Structure 1
């Protein structure tokens, strides 16, 4: 059999990193993607690297009840692309995506259907599958997105995974900037379908949380500052930790810098959400205030983890700052 390559793309990873670089957030409604051009760019990169014919591209994503959306159908109809869907759980988490990718990677290696696998993901849960595929004689090459602020030089890739692949290559920066387009307007879109009237709801101030009992994992939650120009002006990028699933060997940043990043992320997500939502969704959000929908909360945490690492994002003071900054920025926008 003629030697071939195969490409595995974790869509959640690719869209989150690409969206964050171009639109400043992983919120999918904040950007549009030219999927045909993006996938062709990945195919071109793999062909340049190994000169092997591509068996196919596997595109892994999640959807409600694992049912194809219109966008998934369009992607699945592209030549040599197979869409594999996990499901979205009740709390908005992806389920089954990593398992499907791992099984396909090892299965193709076992059947010797491809000699080289190109993997676009940052999840350290895939490390064992990578090693098993290598033991079966397959080379595994990680495709990353350049981020020179990270020690590995690529964005949101766990060191545990990076240490196990055979090599790392990166997508051209111009491919990301040309395929991801910000779609944020100055105001929410009108409600598209007719229905009951949804009058504007006057925002109510959110009471600040009662200070916690004291320090928590090195970060005091008793002194959460409000976002201010003075705080923003003192940040240095050297104060930040960039990590996903184990990258961060750098010491934790100072409390002020950690909270600054949290406020930064909260404000950015609020701007992106406000400019990509409908008036009806905005009114529903305000009606439930101060509770945030799961999908917004997950974006806040995911975007913060890209900049600070999951360890810092787990701190209660950071989570409180994310949510306070989101509401504060939304009040300013309205």
Structure 2
């Protein structure tokens, strides 16, 4: 077996874990990432740990119809990096990403192309692939983000996976904080123009979603023939708000029992009753996701969301549940009262942001 290292990165896991650390939410639009800096830092961390040359860094992500986006092309052109894409479903779920990662991990171990594999993922579906690679002679090291509040000491990693790897190392928090940039606007940006449509053109950038941009667009639409698409929603601009600062909520878990189950994936904590679940956490998570979502969309996207109220798109609902589970665990997130409060808090915060009542 060659004395080389191979790196396997689940981009969805890395985006979510980094987003939670920097912005307090796994909502992908809430952060902008310097991928070159991030990948360089991961290469340096793994090289320092093993001292081995690099075989290749595999970057696994999902895209519509598994087609490369401009972002994926930019990542794929970095030296030593190979992008492998799964499909993104209509509901926003990744399809085929874990399968590709697991097959590559086992394939490289079987071909003896690398002696150490560094895995950046938290999905316990990869536990069997890890053990298969180990049986073929490869050492598998889990690379994580440190989280002192977690029982495992790392963020977003299933215990079933953590127990099967040979060792765990952490990415420096400084790397995440310099590679992930939190971006939240004061209000939705202007409607994205359609090709060849002068009525939608706006010189304002995405950071200037002001009333002037909205009124000029509305005046142009009023004078021009009505297009065969929804009219942008005129929204009262919100008054300037203080930047949202994320502070992980503190709460005590009472009367908890440690259990072991082969039928449920969880952190291992089960509460005695639904009333013990901290609804205040769900309230904070719902409001925070609403704030980040509101600051990263266009007015047309906001209009489309309000049309279907009180229903939430699957991608937003998934972020709410994932972010809440990061703090209180999957068992408590399954409580009906918690899920109801997440969605109620999201809509309540969105109403305040639109009306400008929140200061």
Structure 1 distance, partners of 2:173, 2:316, is 28
RMSD of the TM alignment (CA)?
1.9
Residue aligning to 1:100: 100
Superposed counterparts of 1:264-275, under 5 Å: 264-275=284-295
Contact (CA 8 Å) 1:271, 1:329: kept in 2 or not? yes
- Structure 2 gaps of 5+ residues are 194-199, 201-226, 237-248, 257-263, 355-359
Correspondence 1:82-121 to 2 at 5 A: 82-121=82-121
Deviation at 1:287, TM superposition (A): 1.8
Cα distance between partner residues in 2 of 1:316 and 1:67: 37
Q: Which moved more, 1:155-164 or 1:190-199?
A: 190-199
Which residue, out of 295, 300, 306, partners 1:280?
300
Unaligned runs of 5+ in 1: 203-234
Q: 1:248: how far off? A: 1.7
Distance, in Å, in 1 between the alignment partners of 2:12 and 2:128 is 20
Distance, in Å, in 1 between the alignment partners of 2:180 and 2:313 is 25
Please name the residue that 2:321 is paired with.
301
SS at match of 2:252: helix
**Cα separation, 2, equivalents of 1:264 and 1:255:** 18
Deviates more, 1:297-306 or 1:122-131: 297-306
Give matches, 1:1-334, under 5 Å.
2-193=2-193, 194=200, 197-200=231-234, 236-239=250-253, 246=265, 248-252=267-271, 255=275, 257-334=277-354
Change (3 A) 1:128 1:61: same
Residue 300 of structure 1: how far off its partner (Å)? 1.1
Q: Provide the TM-score with structure 1 as the length reference.
A: 0.85
Distance 2:143 2:266 in 1: 17
Structure whose CA Rg is larger: 2
180-189 or 290-299: bigger deviation: 290-299
DSSP 3-state at the match of 1:239? coil
Deviations, residues 57-90 of structure 1 (Å, cap 9, x unaligned): 0001111111111111111111111111111123
Conservation of the 8 A alpha-carbon contact between 1:27 and 1:273:
yes
CA offset at residue 295 of structure 1?
Answer: 1.6
What do the CA deviations read for 1:124-158 (whole angstroms, capped 9, x no partner)? 00000000000000000000000000111100111
Partner of 2:260: none
Contact kept, 8 Å, 1:201 with 1:286, in 2: the verdict is: no
Q: Give yes or no for contact 1:201–1:283 (8 Å, CA) kept in 2.
A: no
Q: C-alpha distance in 2, partners of 1:185/1:201?
A: 15
SS state at 1:58 partner: strand
